[in-house]
Amino acid sequence: MGIKKTLTETLQQHQVKVLAFFDKQIKRTSGWGHDHLHDLSWRWKARIEKTCVWILQANNTVILGSKHDSPASVADGIKQRDYYENVSNVADDVKRAIKDKEITDAESLDTYLHETCDGAGRVIYTAQAQDCLRYSSNDSAYVHEFGGEEPNWSSMAFAAFRQDIIEELERRGIDMNDPCPEEEEEEEEEGEEEDVG
């Protein structure tokens, strides 16, 4: 289960607990529940909001072990992990495509990566493209690959995301110039057997 999903579920559980706590307090003092929170005075609303913020900040430490980090830096860390999880998932998809013979050579690998990156939400949408460049270790990949033109966010994110995936594939031992070496070895062995026979 991804950390983002876990965090979201945990925060939702805490929100329910906070509402239940205030529901009990409000019923005890006034006789009605959280369905009527909008009818509360501004002082009660401010008290409830302050308590909710305090509980959620305290739980950042419990949930994420981030005692000294601000909620903003915790959220930033979650987004960065999500980015690299996405890179890893695409690398998994490439390995599966190689195994399933969808990718058979360097050209089909390049086409697969191009289509995957070009259709990715983190490349298409401006805010996600900016995040992609923020978290990528290859944020200048566009300049290295295409030169000094003034690109848009999506073009820069495309190059960065693609390069991050390539680095992940190389880290996993996939040669970008020869992604299916065992297939060629089998063909060579078959050719040698025919020569002998």
Q: Please indicate, yes or no, if residue 186 is contained in any of the structural domains.
A: no
Domain containing residue 176: 75-181
Selection from 100, 97, 125, 129 nearest residue 110 by Cα: 97
Strand-pairing partners, residue 83, are none
Q: Which residues contact 102 (CB under 8 A, 6 or more apart)?
A: 108, 112
pTM above 0.85, yes or no: no
Kindly state whether residues 143 and 114 are assigned to the same domain.
yes
Kindly state whether residues 55 and 94 are assigned to the same domain.
no
Q: Residue 166: count other Cβ atoms within 10 Å of its Cβ.
A: 20
* Percent of the chain residues topping a pLDDT of 90: 35
Kindly state whether residues 96 and 118 are assigned to the same domain.
yes
User: Which residue did the predictor score with more confidence, 171 or 11?
Assistant: 171
Question: In this predicted model, what pLDDT tens digit does every residue of 16-29 receive, in sequence order?
Answer: 666 666 666 555 55
- pLDDT tops 90 at residue 86: yes
Cα gap 151→133, rounded to integer Å: 13
Of 69-73, 94-98, 137-141, 191-195, highest mean pLDDT: 94-98
**pLDDT (0 to 100) of residue 123:** 92
Confidence label for 111 from pLDDT (cuts 50, 70 and 90): very high
**pLDDT (0 to 100) of residue 53:** 67
Kindly state whether residues 86 and 177 are assigned to the same domain.
yes
**pLDDT (0 to 100) of residue 24:** 62
Give the torsion through C-alpha atoms of 10, 13, 14, 17, to 10 deg. Answer: -160
**pLDDT (0 to 100) of residue 124:** 93
- pLDDT tops 50 at residue 33: no
Kindly state whether residues 84 and 176 are assigned to the same domain.
yes
- 8-15, long-range: CB within 8 Å, 24+ apart, which pairs? 10/59, 10/63, 11/56, 11/59, 14/55, 14/56, 14/59, 15/52
- pLDDT tops 90 at residue 42: no
pLDDT, averaged across the chain? 75
Note the helical H segments in 2-152: 3-30, 42-64, 71-99, 106-118, 121-124, 126-135, 141-146
DSSP 79-118: HHHHHHHHHHHHHHHHHHHHHTTS--SHHHHHHHHHHHHH
* Structural domain count, the chain: 2
- pLDDT tops 60 at residue 168: yes
**In the predicted model, what is the mean pLDDT of residues 138-153?**
83
- pLDDT tops 70 at residue 47: yes
